[in-house]
Amino acid sequence: MRWMPRFPRELPILFSLILLCLLTGVLGGLATATSVDTWYVALRKPSWTPPGAIFGPVWTLLYLMMAVAAWLVWKERNRRPVRIPMAVFLLHLAVNAAWSWIFFGWQRPDLAFFWIGFLWFWVVVTIFLFLTVRPLSAILMLPYLLWVTLAQVLNYEIFRLNP
């Protein structure tokens, strides 16, 4: 089967990364569901807070883009070292899921603000490492960095408005 193109053989890894990223979202969503319609609704929020209906679609798109970015890095494994970039990517997914548990599950915007700073740091490190392997992967991660930055500012404002 040497004549078969490599792309179809690499699809299971892409699908696995998509599944992993979406499961990260589901894990965070479990925490969010515990208080998004009760505690979160009662919080004072800045006027520029995005509507709740936008979070699900945006996060889904971002998780899909993250999966493709990681897949593109993984595809370079025979030409470049990818273990550290992929390990950092996986670490950052764990940090991502934990934020929802801290903010929504524990209802601690104060701790979540510090945690999202930790997440922001690991997203930047992931982007930098992806850039060294496959620049397109870093570009695919930039909307995520912007969204996490917005979330960090929103998290701070919620913390500030709800002492």
If residue 5 lies in a helix (H) or strand (E), which one and from where to where? none
Helix (H, G, I), strand (E, B) or coil at 35: coil
Residues 131, 134, 139, 144, Cα dihedral to 10°: -80
Residue 81 has pLDDT above 60, yes or no: yes
CATH fold for the domain made of 10-161: Ferritin (1.20.1260)
**Tokens read off for 62:** 């971002």
CA distance 90 to 86: 6
Listed residue (15, 128, 4) closest to 71, CA to CA: 15
Residue 148 has pLDDT above 90, yes or no: yes
Q: What is the mean pLDDT of residues 95-108?
A: 97
Q: What is the mean pLDDT of residues 66-78?
A: 96
For the chain, give every domain's residue range. 10-161
> Is residue 1 very low, low, confident or very high in pLDDT (cuts 50, 70, 90)?
very low
Query: What is the residue-averaged pLDDT of the chain?
Result: 94
Residue 3 has pLDDT above 70, yes or no: no
In DSSP notation, 59-88 reads HHHHHHHHHHHHHHHHTTTTTS--HHHHHH
